[in-house]
Amino acid sequence: MKFRPSPYLALAPALIVITVMLGASLFYAVLESFGIIRVIGQDALSLDAYRDVLSGTGAAGGEFWVSLGFSLWVSAASTIFSSALALMAAVWLSSQKNQADTLAINGHLAFPHLAWATALLLLFSQSGILARWAAALGWIDVPADFPILVRDSFGVGIILHYSIKEIPFLALIVLGVLRSQPVGYDVVAENLGASRWQRLRYVMIPQVMPALFAGALLVFGLIFSSYEVPALLGIGYPRALPVLALRFFLDPDLRARSEGMVISLIITLIVLAVAVVSLKLEERKE
Amino acid sequence: MKYLVRALLYVVLVAPLALFIVYSFTEGWFFPAPFPSEWTTTTFQRTMDDPRTLGGMWQGFVIAVIVSLLSLILAFPAARALGLRQFRGRQIAWLMLFLPTVVPPLAIGMGLNILFLRVGLAGTIMGVSLAHLISTLPYTVFTLSSAFARYDENYEHQALALGANPMQIFFNITLRMMTPSLVVATLFAFLVSWSQYLLTLLIGGGKIITLPVLLFTAASGGNPSTIAIKSLLFILPPALVIAFTARELNRHGNEIREQY
């Protein structure tokens, strides 16, 4: 065919844009993490920022290990909760013929994180709507009696946010698997006398597990590296790694900037490693 | 049990919306009043009269339009190649496009911040749009390439055999058959850009202030009514898009995934 262009030519514009911007941004990030900040004429390579962060001694580094632990805890807890809830939602949805419910799930997926976090703030803060209703019912007298659910030191607000917000993404993955499987397995199991619970436990769950696990890893990476939600629903100490990284990247003290950059690169490495595992799992599934 | 699950599903979906609407039109609703007592539009009017609100919406809209157009132009040929051709290096191309979906926007934004300051793109509409493009382009390509994978090229061959020229084939066959997917892909790109906070903050550097930036600042410690109004304005475009593309969304929903 004459008008058929080479695939390389067709892909070139998109790939060049991505490669140039991603490559250049990574290049400058690594430079700055080594303390090379050209604007102020500092171009001697130094490993100080890495040392300060990893040994937990620098301006930002002092908080590094605490923040890493906090981020791991929040991401792991949210991922586990949302996966469990998503599995339940998908099993329920797969028995529904109602399109409206699938649409509702999609609607929740499309609800921006920033708006969802804002809604949680208005609902769950100590003088929020739920606290007012509790007061109206006579359960509490003053806002301070209401449990601290958002902006708390254990990340409860952040976990609450993601546990619910990530259900649709994972539920739709599980639903995709369930709908692509022949109904036969389930019917055979039923004929062999398997109870509802047994069918769920030995037929459905083994089928969806690989896909759910791969999806859960992506969710973990997303939560681990996101800034807005822990910034809004978290507190000053302990704070999530991305919040720490950005705070020091924007610091007027340029030594702290390098440390912020080092932390951001560590986050990126962890997320990439998790994504690679997720991809490998998905390949094996195919 | 089933009714409970369904009830929870709709509460999660509707509660934030209801909350924003109620809060937007009340004043002086404080602890411990369980329900608002005074209904008013003054806060709403005050927020709308503030030039920053409409300015922020306008800037965000312009950026989102630029981003969706750029994504579409760049993604269309790439998606066609990925969806219809087998060629050496296809895996690598796919992986390169996948990369921006897993590299955190935080890291991309911090690196681009330095780069764009050097080349003079920081604090400009174009700079912010280019930064957003990194997060929208992969999704546009993947949405369109999955549509191209279902696309039958024989219609084009048929038209060619009947004497159509490439322009006619492109406009009358290709574009027409791809319209639903093109609309969905463009809307996704628009929404991802519209709700982008971090990249706008890092590249806009206080000069480009879109609605999510205003909302984030308000939510960090502002008047609940103002927060609610800004949230409402912020989720208005996504809500409209979802309402109008309900059927397509059911098919493509999960492709927008997590970027926003």
Q: Where in chain A are the domains? A: 63-285
Tell me the three-class secondary structure of A24-80, residue by residue. HHHHHHHHHHCCCEHHHCECCCCCHHHHHHHCCCCCCHHHHHHHHHHHHHHHHHHHH
The CATH class, in words, for B50-255 is: mainly alpha
Gap from B38 CA to chain A (nearest CA, Å): 16
Of A28, A31, A92, the CB nearest to B5: A92
d(CA B65, CA B88): 34
Q: Is the pLDDT of residue B260 over 50?
A: no
Q: What is the ipTM of this complex?
A: 0.88
- Please check the confidence at residue A191 and state whether its pLDDT lies above 70: yes
Proportion of chain B above pLDDT 70, given as a percent: 94
User: Average pLDDT for residues A2-26, to the nearest whole number?
Assistant: 86
Instruction: Look at residues A72, A233, A75 and name the one whose alpha carbon lies nearest to residue A149.
Output: A233
Which residues in chain A are closer than 8 Å to B224, comparing Cβ atoms?
122
| Amino acid identity, position A32 | E
Taking 3-state DSSP, the helix, strand and coil percentages for chain A, each rounded to the nearest 5, stand at 75, 0, 25
Q: Does residue B159 contact residue B223 with C-beta atoms inside 8 Å? A: no
B138 with A27: Cβ contact below 8 A: no
DSSP B124-174: SHHHHHHHHHHHHHHHHHHHHHHHHHT--THHHHHHHHTT--HHHIIIIII
Q: Which residue has the higher pLDDT, B230 or A180?
A: B230
Q: Cβ contact (<8 Å) for B103 and A268?
A: yes
**Å between A190 CA and nearest CA of chain B:** 21
- Which residue of chain A is at minimal alpha-carbon distance from B232? A115
- What value does the mean pLDDT of chain B take? 87
Instruction: Using CB atoms, pick whichever of B5, B224, B249 lies closest to residue A106.
Output: B249
Helix (H, G, I), strand (E, B) or coil at B39: strand
Which of A110, A115, A119 lies at the smallest CB-CB distance from B256? Answer: A110
Q: Are B137 and A88 in contact (CB < 8 Å)?
A: no
Chains A–B, number of C-beta pairs less than 8 Å apart: 244
Task: For domain A63-285, give the fold.
Answer: MetI-like fold (1.10.3720)
Highest mean pLDDT among A130-144, A158-172, A188-202, B237-251: A158-172
Q: Do A10 and B13 touch (CB under 8 A)?
A: no
Report helix, strand or coil for B102: helix
The verdict on B114 touching A (C-beta cutoff 8 Å) is: yes
Q: A67 pairs with which residues across the strands?
A: none
* Mean pLDDT, rounded, for B166-174: 89
| E strand or H helix that includes residue A130 | helix A129-136
Read off the pLDDT band of A285 (50, 70, 90): low
Test A22 with B100 for CB contact under 8 angstroms.
yes
Confidence band, pLDDT 50/70/90 cuts, at residue A276: very high
A7, A118, A135 ranked by CB distance to B215: nearest: A118
Closest residue by Cα to residue A95 from A200, A206, A201: A200
pLDDT in tens, A210-238: 889 989 999 999 999 999 999 999 988 89
Q: Mean pLDDT over residues A81-101, rounded?
A: 83
CB contact under 8 A, B110 and A25: yes
